[in-house]
Chain A
C-alpha cells in the first residue's frame, strides 16, 4: 500500500445533536467516496451495534478510512472518526475530538442549535479543532437554513456564510461537504522522524486478535514487532499487526505513521492496559511527554448488578470484563448483598450508560439480571474527621458517626422553547434545582441554567424533561462539585427484615414520599405467601410508611377433569417458573421484578 503524505490526509469527526443526521451524513460520505457500492452499504454503516441501531444513537466510536478523489484530481485519505452522541459519553467524545484536526458540525435546518450541539461544539473548540458547519435536512418543509446560519453565527460565533446546505437523506450537496473537508480542515502536521506518539481514542476486544487499539498517530511511526508502551498505565507489548479501518473491516498495513489513524494489535490480554486517552509510544525510544488530556474516567452513577441465578456469578464477571475491554468508563467491583447474593457494584457515566450495559449483558451474554437502585457517590464526613466515599447505601456508617454528608451537584444547561420554560422551571424546582440564570438564544428559545443534585437527575429526569416539553427540551450537564445536604438512608423492611438491596440514600425532604411509593409498589409486586407480610419504609428506627401483603388464602383450581389436564399442567409449570424467579429471604419469597419495579416509581403516577 502506497503511503499517503500527511498533506493528503484529513482527520475529522462529525458533531451533532442526536437525530440531526450524523450517521446519515457519514453514510453519504462513505458512499460518495466510492469505497463501497450502494449495495454494500448497510443502512447505517457506522452504527453497527444492534443496540445502537435500535436506539438510534452511537455508543461506541466507530472509525472509517476512505479515499476521496477531489476536484483537483488528487486523492485524499479521509479518516472519519465517529463520536458517541450522548452526554454520558463526554470523555469519549473529547478523546475522539483530540484525534482530529477538524469537525463537521451538523445543524438541523428546522430545529437549529440544541444544548448538546453547543456542548460538543465548545468541546471541539477547546481542542482547537477547525469547525466546519453544515446545514442538514434542507429538504424539510419547515427548514429555515438562513435562520439557522444566523443562529450559528450569533450563538457559536462561527462563520456560516458558506456552510453547505445539504440533505444527507436525499444525498443533496454532499460533494460540497467533501471539497470543504479538503479546503477547510487542516492536514496533520506531525514530525515523522520524532519518537512514535499516538493517542488511544478507543479500544476493542476481539476474541481472535485480543485487544485492538484504535489510535491516531501524531509523531513517528510504528510497525510489527516493535514493543509499544502505554504511558499512563505503563503496560508494554509487542505489536502483532498494524492497520487501517476499511468500512466494517480491518485492513493490515506495513506501518502506521504520523498523521494516520489506524489500529494496533499487540500481545495484550488485558484491556485495562489500553485506556482511552492514553498515549502509545515505543518502549525502546519513548517520546518525552504524553499527549495532554488523559484522565481515568470517573463513573458518576453506581448500582448493584446481580445475576438472578446465583450460579451465573462467574459468567457475569466474565461478561463485565469483556465489556470493560471496550468500555474504559465501566467500573465494577465484587460486592455481596444479603438479599441478592454475590454481584457487582458497577460505576457508569450516566443512566443511559447503565441501561446500555445492562441490556448488553442481558442480550449479548444471555444473563438475567437484578439491578439495584442507581445512586451517586456521596461524601460522608464522620465525626472522627474521616471522609468516606459511599456508593452503596449499605456502607453508610451509623448516623451517630456521621458529622455531615455531601452530595454531587451538576451544572445543567437546558435549552427549551419559550412556551415550556415555566414547566421546565417547575420540574427543576421539584428536583431541588438551584436557579442560576436564563439566556434567550433568540426570541423563541431560552437556555436555562440550573444547579441540580446529580441524584435527582439520574432516575427519570431526562424522560420528565422530554414529556414536559413535548420533546423539545435538550439537556447538557457537567459535574460541578459537592455541596452539604440533608441526606438520609431509607431502608425497606419486608417481614421485619431489612432488604439491603432496596436501601438507598436520598434527601430527607423526599424520603416520606418515596418511601410511601416504594411500599405501594412492592405491595403489588410481592405475591401473597403463606402468611401476612408487612412492608415498611424506615429511616433509622423510625417507620415512615407501611403496607401489608395479605396471606395467601385461596389458590386453587376448582375443576380438573379429563380435558383440563394439559391446561392445568401449563398453569402449574408457569407458576413453578414464577417461583424460580423469586428470591428467598428467610421465609419470604420476593420476585426479581420487585427489585426492578422500585426503580420506576414515577411511571404510573
Chain B
C-alpha cells in the first residue's frame, strides 16, 4: 500500500437513508422508516456500525504501518443530511482525524433536509464542499421526479450556505425530466447560473431498470423529451455554461477553474479509494471490493467494535467474495475508459509509466480509427488523447472498443 502513503487516499462514506426515494433513483437508498422513533433508532444503529467499520479500517492501516492521509472525503447517499446533525458530526469527525486543510471534504445535501444546525456541524467538522441535488428550478418537474423540495426551499438552503461562508458548492441539474421543455430547462440553467456556484453537474435522465420510472416507461406513462429536444438541451448546457466561465472537465461535470471535484477525479484516474458504509466499493492498489448491500447483514457484522486483531476478519466478512485483483489488462482498460471520461483525456506517458508498455502498442489501431472518424483527438504537445464533443456524445460506442 505504498501509494496510499505517497498520494493519499480518497474516502467515500455511504449514507443509505432518504426521506423518500426519488422515482428515477437506482442508488442504494431507502427510507429509514415511517415511525419517528423507529427511524431514529435505525439511523443510530447504522451510524454505530459505520463508525465500527471506520475503526476497523483504522486498525488495519495501523497494523501495516500505513500512515493514513485522506486527500478527499465524500459523504454521499442517499441523503446524508437525513441524519440528525450530532450523528453526522460523529461520522465527519471520525474521518476528519486523517484530513488536513488541503483535504477536499464533500457532503451531499438535499435541499429541504438541511437545517441551521447541519450547517454548523459542516463547519465544525471542516467539511468544505457541498453538493446540492437541485435537479430542476421548476416545481412541477421536481414533483414529477419525486423530489421532496421546491425551488424556493433550495434557494433558502443555498443562501444559508453562502452566508455561512461555503465557497465550493456544486449544484446537480438534470435534463430530460418528464414534462420538461426546452424553455423550462433554459430557465433552470439561467437560475442556477445566477447563483454562481463553483461547480455544476449536468446529467441526462437515465431510466434505470428497477426504478419507478422504468416501470412507468414500460407502461407508457412517462412523457419524456424526444431525442431532438434532448440533444438541444444537451448542447444548450454546454454553450450556456461555457459562456459563464464553466469548463467541462468530464462528461457530466463543469466547474470554474481549479474547482474540479478532486474526489471524483480519483475515480477516473485509477486512484485509490476506500468505500465505507452499506454497499460501498473500494479500489486499492489494483484490488476492487464491494461491501454487502444487505442492510441487516451490514449491521450485524459491524454491530460491535472488532476485538484486537480481528478487524481484518470483520471487513472481509463485509466484502465477502467481491474481492477481485484486477489483471493488468483490466487495469489498462479502466485507465482508458475512465480516463477518457475526462475532457483532457489520458496521458500516453502515464500509461507507459504504469504498465511498462506504450499506449500505442496496446491501443494504436483503436485510437487511429477514432482519430480518423473524428471521435477522438490528440494533443501532440502534451501527448494526451481525448474524446471530441462528438466522441463524448456517443462515448459508450467509443469506450467499448477499449475493452481488450
Which residue in B283, B394, B401 is a CB contact (below 8 Å) of A552? B394
State whether the Cβ of B365 lies closer than 8 Å to any Cβ in chain A: no
Alpha-carbon distance between A566 and B290 when the two chains are bound, in angstroms: 10
Stretch at the interface among A107-115, A192-200, A506-514, A572-580: A572-580
Contact with A along B241-262 (1 / 0, CB 8 A): 0000000000110000000000
Smallest CB separation, A26 vs chain B (Å):
49
Complex Cα spacing A372 to B212, Å: 42
Determine if A338 is an interface residue (Cβ-Cβ < 8 Å): no
> Which residues in A have their C-beta under 8 angstroms from that of B399?
572
In the assembled complex, B395 has its CB within 8 A of some CB on chain A: yes
- The interface centre, meaning the residue of B275, B283, B395 with most chain A CB atoms within 10 A of its CB, is B395
Contact B12 A556, beta carbon cutoff 8 Å: no
Taking the complex as formed, is B184 at the interface, i.e. its CB lies under 8 A from any CB of chain A?
Answer: no
Q: Is the CB of A556 within 8 A of B392?
A: yes
The distance in angstroms between the C-alpha atoms of A36 and B399, with both chains bound, is 62
Please name the residue on chain B nearest to A563 by beta carbon: B281
Whole-angstrom CA separation of A575 from B333 in the bound complex? 14
Residues of A within 8 A of B357 (CB): none
Least Cβ distance of B213 to chain A in Å? 14
Interface residues as binary, A538-559 with B (CB distance below 8 Å gives 1, 0 otherwise):
0000000000000011111111
A269 close to B (CB within 8 Å) = no
Q: CA separation between A465 and B230, bound complex, in Å?
A: 47
Q: Report whether B12 and A562 are in contact in the complex, using a CB–CB cutoff of 8 Å.
A: yes
With A and B bound together, what is the CA distance between A579 and B204 in angstroms?
25
With A565-B334, A572-B399, A579-B401 in contact, do A556 and B281 touch (Cβ < 8 Å)?
no
Q: Give the shortest distance, in Å, between A234 (CB) and chain B (any CB).
A: 54
B147 at the interface (CB under 8 A from A): no
Bound-complex Cα distance A244 to B401 (A): 58
Q: How far is the CA of A579 from the CA of B399 in the complex (A)?
A: 12
Q: Does any Cβ of A come within 8 Å of B206's Cβ?
A: yes
Q: Determine the chain B residues whose CB is within 8 A of the CB of A556 once the complex forms.
A: 204, 251, 392-396
Q: Is B98 an interface residue, CB under 8 A from the partner? A: no
CB closest residue in chain A, given B291: A563
Q: Assess the A565–B280 pair: CB atoms within 8 A.
A: no
Q: Are B251 and A558 in contact (CB under 8 A)?
A: yes
Closest CB in chain B relative to A329 CB, distance in Å: 44
Shortest beta-carbon distance from B290 to chain A in Å? 7
User: Cα distance A565–B334 when bound, in Å?
Assistant: 8
> Contact mask B267-283 → A, CB, 8 Å, 1/0?
11000010100011111
Set of chain A residues within 8 Å of B71, measured between Cβ atoms: none
A554 adjacent to B280 (CB under 8 Å)? no
- Of all chain A residues, the one with the shortest Cβ separation from B387 is A556
Question: Out of A530, A558, A569, which one reaches B206, CB within 8 Å?
Answer: A558
Complex contacts, B375 vs chain A, CB 8 Å: 530
| Whole-angstrom distance between the Cβ of A58 and the nearest chain B Cβ | 44
Most chain A CB within 10 A, of B283, B375, B400, B401, is at B400
In B382-404, the 8 Å CB interface with A consists of: 392-397, 399-403
**Nearest-Cβ distance from residue A434 to partner chain B, whole angstroms:** 46
Q: Which of B209-237 contact A (CB under 8 A)?
A: 227, 230-231, 234
Residue B373 CB within 8 A of the other chain? yes
Note all chain A residues with C-beta closer than 8 A to B275: 562-563
Hey, which chain B residues are within 8 Å of A553, CB to CB?
227, 231, 393-394
Question: How far is B397's CA from A555's CA once the two chains are assembled, in angstroms?
Answer: 7
Distance from B99 Cβ to chain A, minimum over Cβ atoms (Å)? 18
Asked if B3 lies at the interface with its beta carbon under 8 angstroms from chain A, I say: no
CB distance from B374 to the nearest CB of A (A): 9
Is A560 an interface residue, CB under 8 A from the partner?
yes
Q: When the two chains form their complex, are residues B338 and A560 in contact, meaning their CB atoms are under 8 A apart? A: yes
Give chain B residues whose Cβ lies under 8 Å from the Cβ of A572. Answer: 337, 396, 399-400, 402-403
CB nearest neighbor in B for A550 = B227
Q: Which residues of A contact B290 (CB under 8 A)?
A: 563, 566
> Across the A-B interface, how many residue pairs have beta carbons closer than 8 Å?
92
B341 sits at the interface (CB 8 A): yes
Quick one: given A556-B251, A573-B403, are A530 and B373 in contact (CB under 8 Å)? yes
In whole Å, how far is A558's beta carbon from the nearest beta carbon of chain B?
Answer: 4
With both chains docked as a complex, state the minimum distance between the C-beta of A182 and any C-beta of chain B, in angstroms: 66
Q: Taking the nearest CB of chain A, how far is it from the CB of B397, in angstroms?
A: 5
Verify A566–B281 contact, CB threshold 8 A: yes
Closest CB in chain B relative to A527 CB, distance in Å: 9
Determine if A561 is an interface residue (Cβ-Cβ < 8 Å).
yes
Q: Are B403 and A560 in contact (CB under 8 A)?
A: no
CB-CB under 8 A for A554 and B227, given A561-B264, A562-B275, A572-B399: yes
Q: Do B227 and A565 touch (CB < 8 A)?
A: no
CB contact under 8 A between A563 and B280, given known A553-B393, A558-B251: yes
* Given A530-B373, A553-B231, residue A562 in contact with residue B281 (CB < 8 A): yes
Query: Assuming the A-B contacts A559-B203, A563-B279, are A575 and B267 also in contact, with contact meaning beta carbons closer than 8 angstroms in the complex?
Result: no
Q: Is A571 in contact with chain B by the CB < 8 A criterion?
A: yes
CA distance A569 to B227 in the complex (A): 26
Q: How far is the CB of B109 from chain A (nearest CB, A)?
A: 17
- Known contacts A572-B403, A576-B401: does B204 contact A555 (CB below 8 Å)? no
* Assembly CA distance A555 to B230 (angstroms): 12
CB distance from A271 to the nearest CB of B (A): 43
Q: For chain A residues 183-227, which have a beta carbon within 8 Å of chain B?
A: none
Task: Answer whether residue B288 sits at the interface, using C-beta atoms and an 8 A cutoff.
Answer: yes
User: Are the C-beta atoms of B403 and A576 separated by less than 8 Å?
Assistant: yes
Closest chain-B Cβ to A286's Cβ sits at a distance in Å of 64
Complex-state Cα separation, A556 to B399, whole angstroms: 10
Complex contact A562–B338 (CB within 8 A): no
Q: Is the CB of B283 within 8 A of A565?
A: yes
Please give me the residue from chain A that is nearest to B250 by CB atom.
A560
Nearest-Cβ distance from residue A549 to partner chain B, whole angstroms: 13
Interface assignment of A296: CB less than 8 Å from any CB of chain B: no
Known A563-B275, A566-B290: A557·B394 in contact at CB below 8 Å: no
Residue pair B395, A555 in contact (C-beta under 8 Å): yes
A568 at interface by CB-CB < 8 Å: yes
- Measured in the bound complex, the distance between the Cα atoms of B27 and A559 in whole Å is 11
Q: Which of A530, A556, A557, A573 has the most CB of B within 10 A?
A: A556
Closest residue of chain B to A568 (Cβ to Cβ) is B337
User: Do A558 and B231 touch (CB < 8 A)?
Assistant: no
How far in angstroms is the closest Cβ of chain A from B177? 13
Nearest chain-B residue to A527 (Cβ)?
B397
Q: What is the CA–CA distance of A563 and B74 in the complex, to the nearest angstrom? A: 13
Minimum CB–CB distance for A126 against chain B, Å: 59
CA distance A562 to B106 in the complex (A): 15
Nearest-neighbour CB distance to chain A for B332, whole angstroms, equals 12
Q: A572-B403, A573-B403 are in contact. Are A557 and B281 (CB under 8 A)?
A: no
| Closest CB in chain A relative to B30 CB, distance in Å | 16
CB nearest neighbor in A for B10: A562
Write the B9-44 contact mask toward A (1 if CB under 8 angstroms, else 0): 000100000000000000000000000000000000
B360-382: CB near A (< 8 Å → 1, else 0) gives 00000000000001010000000
Chain B 319-347, CB within 8 Å of chain A: the 1/0 string?
A: 00000000000100110011001000000
List 12 interface pairs A-B (beta carbons < 8 Å), by A numbering: A552-B394, A553-B231, A557-B206, A558-B203, A558-B204, A558-B252, A563-B281, A565-B283, A565-B334, A569-B333, A572-B400, A572-B403
Closest 8 CB pairs of A and B: A575-B400, A558-B203, A576-B403, A572-B400, A563-B281, A555-B394, A555-B396, A576-B400
Given A572-B396, A575-B400, 16 new contacts (CB under 8 A): A552-B397, A553-B227, A554-B231, A556-B395, A557-B251, A559-B206, A559-B252, A562-B12, A562-B275, A563-B275, A563-B279, A565-B267, A565-B283, A565-B288, A569-B334, A576-B400
Residues of A within 8 A of B (CB): 530, 552-563, 565-566, 568-569, 571-573, 575-576, 579
